[in-house]
Amino acid sequence: MQLELDGIGKRYGDEHALRDVDLVLEPGVVGLLGPNGAGKSTLMRIVTTVLQPTDGRVRWNGTDVREEPRAIRDSVGYLPQSFGVYPSLTAREFLRYLAAIRGVSNVGERIDDLLALVNLEAAADRRLGGFSGGMRQRVGIAQALLADPELLVVDEPTVGLDPTERVRFRNVLAELAEDRIVVLSTHIVSDVEVTASDIVLLHDGRVLAHESPAALLDEVEGSVWEWTVGDDDLAEVKREYTISGTARRSDGVAVRVVSASRPTPAAEPAEPTLEDAYLDAIGR
């Protein structure tokens, strides 16, 4: 099972949403991480064949999907960033309806399993119009899994989920990724910190890094510092350094900074997190 992106570019008019994206993805959770406007949704829409790239090719198990879109369409489950539901249908009816229009058969039991997976068993026969944003999102996740896809593409899926659901969902994706490729886009580092086998850092339409979380952490090892500054000095520190955190203390403000060299003799080295690595890569 392999998804290969070869020189993918996408222009909207004069604007480059993606440039020269080369990636080879294999089973596991691939965290596509980048700030707003980095090109994450554009990349996901290209992978799911909703959108055609301006340049480059997508290959699914070696087959060029422009030539044979079915090769990937039959294998992909997609949760887009904005996912609409029919408010008058119940969760179960909606999933049955989507299965029917996609030609997925024998789904009765599978729908029960999926409703359980996303923790909606109790609400299965309630109308979607009365669902909270997080509940609708969970229906969205269930529909993406209807055809038991080998490639699952989920665009900012944790938006609207409460912290308990977020953790639960993260674990569900990790389990699913044991024998499939799960591509998850987010700008929230903690969504992918624990479960991702690979992280793709995207910024301004370019891939800044494609590495394991451990390798990304290694890159900032020895480059994260903490010290306390007076209120008057905070603005200057913010101007000069990539700040990855601040916390108010009785004697000033504790700052956490990513910097290749010790910013000041008062700075103590700190254990890096993936968030530090992300900010460092984006900052550079």
Q: Is 37 in the site for ligand ATP (CB under 6 A)?
A: yes
Applying CB under 6 A, the span of 30-38, 169-177, 220-228, 249-257 interacting with ligand ATP comes to 30-38
Among 165, 147, 135, which Cα is nearest to 48's?
147
Q: Is 14 in the site for ligand ATP (CB under 6 A)?
A: no
Give the shortest CB-205-to-ligand ATP separation in angstroms: 7
Give the shortest CB-273-to-ligand ATP separation in angstroms: 21
Q: Smaller CB distance to ligand ATP: residue 48 or 90?
A: 48
For residue 25, the cross-strand partners are 3
Among 28, 31, 39, 80, binds ligand ATP (CB under 6 A): 39
Contact assessment for residue 44 and residue 184, using Cβ atoms and an 8 Å cutoff: no
Contact assessment for residue 38 and residue 113, using Cβ atoms and an 8 Å cutoff: no
- Quote the CA–CA distance of 20 and 8 in Å, as a whole number: 5
Q: Smaller CB distance to ligand ATP: residue 136 or 256?
A: 136
Q: Is 195 in the site for ligand ATP (CB under 6 A)?
A: no
* Residues 78 to 97 in contact with ligand ATP, rule: CB under 6 A: 81
**If you ran DSSP here, which 8-state letter would residue 134 be given?**
H
Q: Smaller CB distance to ligand ATP: residue 39 or 53?
A: 39
Q: Smaller CB distance to ligand ATP: residue 166 or 256?
A: 166
Euclidean distance between the first and the last CA atom of the chain, given in angstroms as a whole number: 34
Q: Is 53 in the site for ligand ATP (CB under 6 A)?
A: no
Q: Smaller CB distance to ligand ATP: residue 188 or 270?
A: 188
- With vertex at residue 218, the alpha carbon angle to CA 2 and CA 44, rounded to the nearest 5 degrees, is 35
Applying CB under 6 A, the span of 19-27, 34-42, 112-120, 136-144 interacting with ligand ATP comes to 34-42
- Quote the CA–CA distance of 239 and 19 in Å, as a whole number: 30
Q: C-alpha dihedral over 86, 91, 95, 97, to 10 degrees?
A: -50
Q: How many residues does the chain have?
A: 284
Question: How many helices (DSSP H) and strands (DSSP E) are in the chain?
Answer: 10, 14
Q: Is 19 in the site for ligand ATP (CB under 6 A)?
A: no
User: How many positions of this chain bind ligand ATP (CB under 6 A)?
Assistant: 13
Q: Which residues bind ligand ATP (CB under 6 A)?
A: 12, 15, 17, 34, 36-42, 81, 187
